[in-house]
Amino acid sequence: MSGAAPSDAILERLMRLHPKAIDLSLDRMRVLLNRLGNPERRLPPVFHVAGTNGKGSTCAYLRAMLEAAGLRVHVYTSPHLVSFHERIRLAGKLISEDALQILLDECEHAAAETPITFFEITTAAALLAFARVPADALVLEVGLGGKLDATNVIDAPLVSIITPVDLDHQHYLGDTIDLIAAEKAGIVKAGRPVVVGPQRDDAFAVIESEALRQNAPLIVYGQEFSAHEERGRMVYQDLQGVMDLPLPKLFGAHQIANAATAIAALKAQDIFTVPDTAFEQGLKSVSWPARMQRLTYGPIIADAPDGSEIWLDGGHNPHAGAAIAAALADLEEQRPRPLYMIVGMLNTKDPGGYLAHFRGLARHVSTIAIPGEANALGAGALYDAARKAGLNADPADDLGDALDQIGARVQLDDGEIPPRILIGGSLYLAGRVLAQNG
């Protein structure tokens, strides 16, 4: 679903309800939910997912595996890439335009023009939808942080999940790993199991402390469960035994840990049964756009140099940069091609920290401003960051100009070898690219 829709006008009005795009608090959210009849108390069992990186992919694995087990699954994720409807999946299907309009109207009326952020009121709409449509489970992704995030109105999740924590959104969450981890650990609830993905020691210490305080059982990657690749398969191991599984459909070694975290979360609950066959099928069928997604058709392929291999990824912080660079290094070892990058980022991110991981791997970086995004970093400023990070770079006017730059360089530098192109640095850029590519 793309293009203008009647709900777009409502969403535009909701953007103006609060002068701040992000203002972390649960007070406004609780008032609105009370006016709506407290839908957060009438939800199916909830898998609540926080973290800096990997939480979206982990949500995708949870959904794929639950659905492979024959269960009806609600999913809430953000941000969207092309259409707002992507954020709300009701029992397996994206929310319809008619249903979204009704919910947004109801929430707008309940808010009665009192200050509330866009994310808060749209999260309230999602919770209202999830309470009204029957389902077996709800996969609920945190928007930002955890403790004061609008999704953190769930008193007793079936399982809380914390994927890798690293530096990002420091302006809102704090400028140290300890502070950021404390915000993420805010989703830990009394007595409810907590599945923890791979963590830095300083982040894990904070999460462990909160779990102990809440008497919440901890299930930790590298302790109670783990996974690795062996002979082209994924080997998952926990205290119950070993499973020999297919590699995740999502590309990159980091996806093995994300998939393992989802499996551990499903095994941590006893409300419903998820057979091993559902884990296998979920790994094969999982889909999550703009996470090392290969583009194989569309106008962008046509505009790229002949034979180009094009990858799209929305990762936008240093930790994500490291994972993406490692995935591309593995790909280079298997199927060598010259790597070129097209990068656009928001001005709230750390471009140098992201780009430094591609030094020695990328031949050239074309920097662009994300079209239509007020908070985009300018192509010139991003070029400066790329050069400072030790990369060969040039600013480009737009995506088309960047592809032309690559075409000229491929002819000059690599002769007949088709390039590998990574378009990345922002989910907002990824969304524009997907929309442009049809």
B/e letters for 260-271, b = 16+ CB within 10 Å, e = fewer, are bbbbbbbbbbee
Per-residue pLDDT, 8: 80
Same domain, 84 and 223: yes
In a domain? residue 387: yes
In a domain? residue 119: yes
Answer with the residue of higher pLDDT: 283 or 12. Answer: 283
In a domain? residue 388: yes
Q: Judge whether residue 282 has pLDDT over 50.
A: yes
Tell me the pLDDT band of 169, cut-offs 50, 70 and 90: low
Same domain, 280 and 299: no
In a domain? residue 216: yes
Same domain, 363 and 273: no
The residue type found at 399 is L
Same domain, 88 and 11: yes
Same domain, 314 and 343: yes
Same domain, 265 and 366: no
**Residue finishing a domain among 285, 307, 325:** 285
Q: Judge whether residue 244 has pLDDT over 50.
A: yes
Q: Distance between alpha carbon 209 and the CA centroid of its chain, in Å? A: 26
Round to whole Å and give the CA distance between 43 and 3.
Answer: 31
Same domain, 300 and 340: yes
Per-residue pLDDT, 335: 93
In a domain? residue 136: yes
In a domain? residue 398: yes
Q: Worst-scoring range by mean pLDDT, 8-12, 125-129, 177-181, 264-268?
A: 8-12
Same domain, 166 and 56: yes
Per-residue pLDDT, 66: 98
Task: Give per-residue pLDDT as tens, 17-65.
Answer: 655 556 677 999 999 999 999 999 999 999 999 999 999 999 999 999 9
What CATH number is attached to the domain comprising 307? Answer: 3.90.190.20
Per-residue pLDDT, 12: 81
How many distinct structural domains can be found in the chain? 2
Same domain, 224 and 208: yes
In a domain? residue 237: yes
Q: Judge whether residue 2 has pLDDT over 50.
A: no
Same domain, 158 and 139: yes
Q: Judge whether residue 416 has pLDDT over 60.
A: yes
Provide the token pair at 381.
């400023």
**Residue finishing a domain among 248, 268, 285:** 285
**How many Cα atoms within 13 Å fall on the side-chain side of residue 118?**
15
254 close to 326: Cβ distance less than 8 angstroms: yes
In a domain? residue 1: no
State the residue range of the domain holding 355.
Answer: 293-436
What CATH number is attached to the domain comprising 242? Answer: 3.40.1190.10
Same domain, 348 and 379: yes
Per-residue pLDDT, 311: 97
Task: Give per-residue pLDDT as tens, 344-395.
Answer: 999 989 999 999 999 999 999 999 999 999 889 999 999 999 999 999 999 9
Interstrand relation of 73-76 and 88-90 (parallel, antiparallel or unpaired): antiparallel
Residues facing residue 140 across a β-bridge: 48, 76
B/e letters for 288-302, b = 16+ CB within 10 Å, e = fewer, are bbbbbbebeeeebee
Same domain, 243 and 309: no
The residue type found at 272 is F
**Residue finishing a domain among 251, 269, 285:** 285
